Structure 1
Amino acid sequence: MTDRLKGKRALVTAAAAGIGRACALAFARQGAYVIATDIDENGLATLKAEGVQEATRLDVRDSAAVLALAQRIDAVDVLLNAAGHVHHGSVRECTDDDWDFSFDLNVKSMHRTLRAFLPGMLTLGHGSIVNISSAAGVFKAAPNRYVYGATKAAVAALTRAVAVDFITEGIRCNAICPGTIETPSMLGRAEALGPQGRETFVARQPMGRLGTAEEIASLAVYLASDESSFTTGVAHIIDGGWTL
């Protein structure tokens, strides 16, 4: 099935790599006009060659820049928040700076984009917001994911709050809670564990494999599309059975 997002304008953050990139490409393949954003301009440049219509640098930690982009591109039908950082460590390894940075990028960035782009959606009378959360911290605790889990639980709560506040105004807000997904970020963390790092992540997966960014993007397309018009405020788990 194609053209599931035909006629929709979609903004995607952290679109240069990983889940954000897969979502931007999937949205474009399904007919959306995609505005892909990231701080990685080299990664953004390659997206346009693969069918994404617009790619622009955006630091989601910069409130003024987020607001300026919203004013420039006008209203969007779909907002996908994918920016995030995985801090490794327990409370003992988490400094105040680590805590502040993680919450700024993983949670406050979504607050910024919501504040900037929700008014346009309200003017349109509709909109679908998809926030990337995590199975870790929402459905299950993971070792050495102290502040990461806290931020992702906050994302799930933020998602429900937006859903209930704007349910009568045509706005839907859902979260995706991935398990272990094979992305450049995840592979970097695996490499830091040593030669068997990737196998360590695979070993904890009941299905015996890691998830793919494209599998997450398939769910994002559904949530962005009118097919999910009766769905809001839900944290959708997609983890290969990790939390069973």
Structure 2
Amino acid sequence: MSSVEGRVCVVTGAARGLGQAIAAALGAAGGRLALCDVLATELAETASALRANGVEVLDARCDVSDSTAVDDFFARIEQELGPVEALVNNAARVPGGPEDEARRSRHYAYLTTPEPRRSLKFTSTMSDAEWLKYWDVNVHGLFYCTRAALRQMEPRNYGRIVNIASLAGHSNLSAHSPHYSASKGAVIAFTRAVGAEVAGANIFVNAIAPGGVATEMFEAYLGKLAPEAQAALFQMIPAGRLGTLEEYAGLALYLAGDNHYLAGQVISPNGGMI
């Protein structure tokens, strides 16, 4: 029997990509799911597919950057499913726009091509709006959801929280996105602090800091690169490939369960990049 069998498991940002894969892994292991996202249509499709496989699912549109919406969502979970026992904080803004992709490509070329060293001028040309937009979801939203979950976990002396951080938060390999890196670095620091704070109540808080993830978004970016640029990128990864959604989801399932003694840890599956 899985250690999440019958337990109330929350996944934020569950409509697609890694969040969807984590929800599927928790559901297949017997978890009773509460899923949220701002992508209501895609979330409904994900929930419907899970229900077709016999998984109990509560799905709701929720913008995690809105603390009132978060509190309402968690209150509904407790009322309809019972107290939250596991939370995966997956919702995040990620650099995926044209300007983000241009910076990423410039940085990867800089790392893999012999050329004179210089400043890439990412930070000095960044606007206030660009800097601030990652904090509402990646940091504030993660805090709101963690706070709401702890209010249900602490009285019961049980809980598991898994925060999805990033390689960007503890390495220089995402220098193309200093704003995103800073927000994910905050996730890592928060995980360590809260992990130490609540471990005595049998609430284990840990983080996964993925390297490259084979999401549709990243695969689309790779598809725009010339073959030589793709080869140079994969040369940076000792394993020679991106991590699959299932590999990352399997780790999230493990951390959401009971069969470990991990608290305040940051685990970084990255194919040997760091």
2:70 aligned residue: 66
- Matched with 1:54 is 58
Partners of 2:146 and 2:33 in 1: CA distance:
17
State the alpha-carbon separation in 1 of the partners of residues 198 and 22 from structure 2: 24
Partner of 1:173: 205
The answer as to 2:94 corresponding to 1:86 is yes
For structure 1, which runs of at least 5 residues remain unmatched after alignment?
Answer: none
AA matched with 1:10: C
Taking the aligned partners of 2:156 and 2:233, their CA distance within structure 1 comes to 43
Could you state the TM-score of these two structures normalised by the residue count of structure 1?
A: 0.92
Contact conserved, 2:175 with 2:181, CA < 8 A, in 1? no
Q: Give the 3-state SS of the residue equivalent to 2:88 in structure 1.
A: strand
* CA contact 2:9–2:85 (8 Å) conserved in 1: yes
Of stretches 234-243 and 51-60 in structure 1, the one that deviates more from structure 2 is 51-60
Partner of 1:76: 84
Whichever residue aligns with residue 217 of structure 2, its letter is S
Q: Which residue of 1 aligns with 2:10?
A: 11
Task: Tell me how far 1:185 sits from its aligned partner.
Answer: 2.6
How far residue 195 of structure 1 moved from its aligned partner, in angstroms, is 4.4
Find the counterpart in structure 2 of residue 42 from structure 1. 41
1:224 maps to what in 2?
Answer: 256
| Separation in 1, partners of 2:221, 2:142 | 24
Residue 94 of structure 1 aligns to which amino acid in structure 2?
A: M
TM-superposed deviation, 1:73: 1.3
In structure 1, the residue matched to 2:129 is 97
Identity of aligned residues (%): 34
Kept after mapping to 2: 8 A contact 1:12/1:82: yes
Taking a change above 3 Å as real, the CA distance of residues 198 and 113 of structure 1, as seen in their structure-2 partners, is: farther
Q: Residue 180 and residue 64 in structure 1: after superposition, are their counterparts in 2 closer, same or farther (change >3 A)? A: same
Q: Do 1:141 and 1:149's aligned partners in 2 also have CA atoms closer than 8 Å? A: no
Aligned pair partner of 1:118 in 134, 150, 154: 150
2-structure distance, mates of 1:176, 1:85: 16
1:236–1:50 distance in 2 versus 1, CA, 3 Å: same
How far apart are the structure 2 equivalents of 1:50 and 1:62?
27
Cα deviations across residues 205-232 of structure 1 (Å, max 9, x unaligned)? 211111111111100011001012x111
The letter for the 2-side match of 1:69 is F
Residue 4 of structure 1 deviates from its aligned partner by 3.4
Shift of the alpha carbon at 1:198? Answer: 5.1
1:117 Cα shift? 1.6
Query: CA-to-partner distance for each residue in 1:45-97, whole Å, 9 max, x for gaps?
Result: 22222344222111111111101111111121001001112233521343211
Larger Rg: 2
User: Number of aligned pairs?
Assistant: 240
Q: Which runs of 4+ in 1 moved over 3 A?
A: 188-191, 193-201
Q: Any gaps of 5 or more consecutive residues in structure 2?
A: 104-121
